[in-house]
Amino acid sequence: MLKRILIADDHPLIVTALSMAAHAIDPAILIDKAGTLAEAEAHVRATPPDLILLDLVLPDVQGFAGLALMRAVAPGRPVAIVSSRDEEAVIRQAIALGARGYLSKASPLNQMIAAIRVLLAGGQWLPDQLLAAPPSAAANDIAARVGTLSVAQLRVLRAIADGRQNKQIAYDLQLAEPTVKSHLAAIFRKLGVANRTQAVLVLRALEPEDEAA
């Protein structure tokens, strides 16, 4: 069956390299390209891909919030992180939060080919054959709680993390203000928090850990 890959990355050279790697496996593989998370979401909704290659930092999202959204929009579809960060802690964090694989942007073309081949076959890819350690209980808990949020609730959570108030969120997301309040109540309940500050702290836990951490 013809495969389709979504490459969500705003660096043209990386997009070109990943496209070349995919077509080295099969020239008939269909490639969708997105430079923002919003574009990636539109592609996934229009035609769900067999594999999503997701940059860790896009113009409209940073950290693992993008991974959470892609998993919510396309449940069951494998998502692999593509990043210039190669610290072991960040890689393990990505896997704990549901990424099927982690591919360094510094990888040579033959390694990109191998990674995409494994991921399309349903396997897991980690740099240098790093063995994924069992995620911590804290990481599992965060992933489970964030995973219960709907796409709309994730958008609202990201908006409050940006410091926007209900009226601005309603305007930006084209929602009624009571709907925003309803989403916030659901977010607090699902995340097990009492206020906006605590909800934002949960979202911040989805950001890659500092190298010194």
Domain shared by 13 and 86, yes or no: yes
For residue 123, how many other CB atoms are within 10 A of its CB?
Answer: 12
pLDDT of 111 reads 93
Same-domain pairing of 62 and 108: yes
CATH number for 165 = 1.10.10.10
Mind listing the pLDDT tens digit for each residue in 85-96?
888 878 888 888
The average pLDDT across 117-128 equals 89
Residue at 74 is within a domain: yes
Q: Is 114 a member of any domain?
A: yes
Digit-coded pLDDT (tens) for 5-22: 999 999 999 999 999 999
**Per-residue pLDDT reduced to its tens digit, 173-194:** 999 999 999 999 999 999 999 9
Query: Is the CB of residue 113 less than 8 Å from the CB of residue 21?
Result: yes
Q: What is the mean pLDDT of residues 17-43?
A: 95
Q: What pLDDT is recorded for position 211?
A: 42
Percentage of residues of the chain with pLDDT beyond 70: 91
Residue 117 domain-assigned? yes
Of 75, 99, 129, the residue at which a domain comes to its end is 129
Q: Is residue 92 part of a domain?
A: yes
**Structural domain range at position 184:** 148-204
Q: 125 and 152 share a domain?
A: no
Which tens digits make up the pLDDT trace of 133-158? 555 666 667 777 887 888 889 889 98
- Total domains in the chain come to 2
Query: 25 and 86 share a domain?
Result: yes
With helix as H, strand as E and coil as C, how does the chain read?
A: CCCEEEEECCCHHHHHHHHHHHHHHCCCCEEEEECCHHHHHHHHHHCCCCEEEEECEECCEECCHHHHHHHHHCCCCCEEEEECCCCHHHHHHHHHCCCCEEEECCCCHHHHHHHHHHHHCCCCECHHHCCCCCCCHHHHHHHHHHHCCCHHHHHHHHHHHCCCCHHHHHHHHCCCHHHHHHHHHHHHHHHCCCCHHHHHHHHHCCCCCCCCC
**Residue that wins the pLDDT comparison between 129 and 118:** 118
CATH number at residue 38: 3.40.50.2300
Q: Please report which confidence band the pLDDT of residue 66 belongs to, taking 50, 70 and 90 as the band edges.
A: confident
Section 152-172 average pLDDT: 92
141 in any annotated domain: no
Q: Would 50 be classed as within a structural domain?
A: yes
| 9 lies in the same domain as 83 | yes
- So what's the pLDDT on residue 148? 82
Residue 203 binned pLDDT confidence (cut-offs 50, 70, 90)? confident
Binned at pLDDT 50, 70 and 90, residue 210 comes out as low
Q: Could you tell me if 53 and 157 lie in one domain?
A: no
Give the mean model confidence (pLDDT) for residues 109-125. 94
Together in a domain, 113 and 68:
yes
**pLDDT band for position 212 (cuts 50, 70, 90):** very low
* pLDDT of 140: 64
User: Does 174 share its domain with 117?
Assistant: no
